[in-house]
Amino acid sequence: MRVFLSYRREDSAAHAGRLADELRRRLGRSDVFLDVAEIRPGRDFADAIDSALQRSDAVLVVIGPRWLSAAAADGRPRLDDPQDYVRREIAAALGRSLLVVPVLVGGARLPRADELPEDLVPLARRQAISLDDETWLRDVQALLDLLEGRREAPTRRRLWVLVGAGVLAGAAVATVVAVALLRPDPGEPGGTTGTDGETVGALTGCPDPDETWERLLGPDGTASGVVEEADGGTLEFTVTDVFAQDNDDGSWEVVITSIMTNNLGEVRNHGDWVYSQLEVARIAYETKTCYSVESQLPEPGQRSRARVGYEVTEDPAGGLRLTVGDNNYYANFALTPGS
């Protein structure tokens, strides 16, 4: 199953990148096409898109709240331009009779036919599937089941019923989730913690390291700050603490506390997928063991503190390298001397 992701960067780049990461884990990296990540420098963009569509079995149209309203520099809606790359991608997919699935994120709705240019009107008749942050893994599995022919897409009416039920149930379970899964970070008054289990099911909140843990980096160390260029703004990551605990079975648990400062003009998802991998002695670890965050969706200008844990099989005292980023914008930085 080869999948092409169509998205508008100013609308749903964070969700598209997160979805691509999850699909690559399940389908394989070479079977998921995301334009920025897959097009080599110097290659003609239109030719690369057409070639990728020809090799694809399905096209996922990621639609966020600004998908319809995104405007060009002259104020005209981008979708009104026949040369708009998103419009061209979708029109080409519909013209090839590929499986085209609208994927709704960020609470977006499926556009009506009268809101779309003529060549995209068939998109309004395709059954959509919603991906919600609170039920991300389950929703992605439903999407995979649809792509692989194991289920029909839920109708839009059923999706709205599920959303409504989730709102009603949310108030009843919120306290249980906060108490049972998460441990708030100390020193952040008023912070609200939450989970974003994206790698191995519902990740529980990371523990508060005590005196039994070895501090590898902390207040007396030199935490590196990394600024990520993304969509004309920046995301700044600063690691504040790194602790490790010997599990006495040849493995170590590493818990990292970091701050993400959102200097973009839009909300960003601070999920466990942002912490792409931890490298120890040239061995990369991608699977997270725990994750907790104070604000999963920080607004522009806000800071969000998170903890993420990894289990490693090499002694982490020799030096660690953490890869962090947002979608296709990644950077590495050393956490201890000698790495």
pLDDT digits (tens, 9 = 90+) for 182-222: 223 333 322 333 333 333 334 778 988 998 999 887 655 55
Extract the tokens encoding 172: 């009843």
Rounded CA-CA distance 131/266 in Å is: 19
Other residues' Cβ atoms within 10 Å of the Cβ of residue 301: 10
Whether residue 284 contacts residue 278, with contact meaning beta carbons closer than 8 Å, is answered with yes
Identify the pLDDT of residue 177: 19
- Paired sense of beta strands 233-246 and 214-217, if any: antiparallel
Whether residue 297 contacts residue 201, with contact meaning beta carbons closer than 8 Å, is answered with no
Whether residue 237 contacts residue 225, with contact meaning beta carbons closer than 8 Å, is answered with yes
Predicted TM-score of the model (pTM): 0.47
Residues 227, 231, 235, CA angle at the centre, nearest 5°?
25
- All structural domains of the chain, each given as residue ranges with its CATH number in brackets, are 3-159 (3.40.50.10140), 214-334 (2.60.40.1240)
Whether residue 322 contacts residue 255, with contact meaning beta carbons closer than 8 Å, is answered with no
Query: In the chain, what is the straight-line distance between the N-terminal and C-terminal CA atoms, in Å?
Result: 39
For 77, phi then psi, to 5°, come to: -60, 135
In SS3 terms, the chain reads as: CCEEEECCHHHHHHHHHHHHHHHHHHHCHHHEEEHHHHCCCCCCHHHHHHHHHHCCCEEEEEECCCCCCCECCCCCEHHHCCCCHHHHHHHHHHHCCCEEEEEEECCCCCCCHHHCCHHHHHHHHCCCEEECHHHHHHHHHHHHHHHCCCCCCCCHHHHHHHHHHHHHHHHHHHHHHHHHHCCCCCCCCCCCCECCCCCCCCCCCCCCCCCCCEEEECCCCCCCEEEEEECCEEEEEEEEEEEEEECCCCCEEEEEEEEEEECCCCCCCCCHHHEEEEEECCEEECCEEEEEECCCCCCCCCEEEEEEEEEECCCHHHCEEEEEEECCEEEEEECCCCC
Instruction: Give the sheet arrangement for strand 129-131, strand by strand.
Output: 32-34, 3-6, 58-63, 99-105, 129-131
Bridge partner residues of 325 (DSSP): 330
Whether residue 240 contacts residue 257, with contact meaning beta carbons closer than 8 Å, is answered with yes
Identify the pLDDT of residue 153: 42
Rounded CA-CA distance 55/51 in Å is: 7
Extract the tokens encoding 105: 């994120």
Which regions of the chain are under pLDDT 50? Answer: 37, 151-202, 328, 338-339
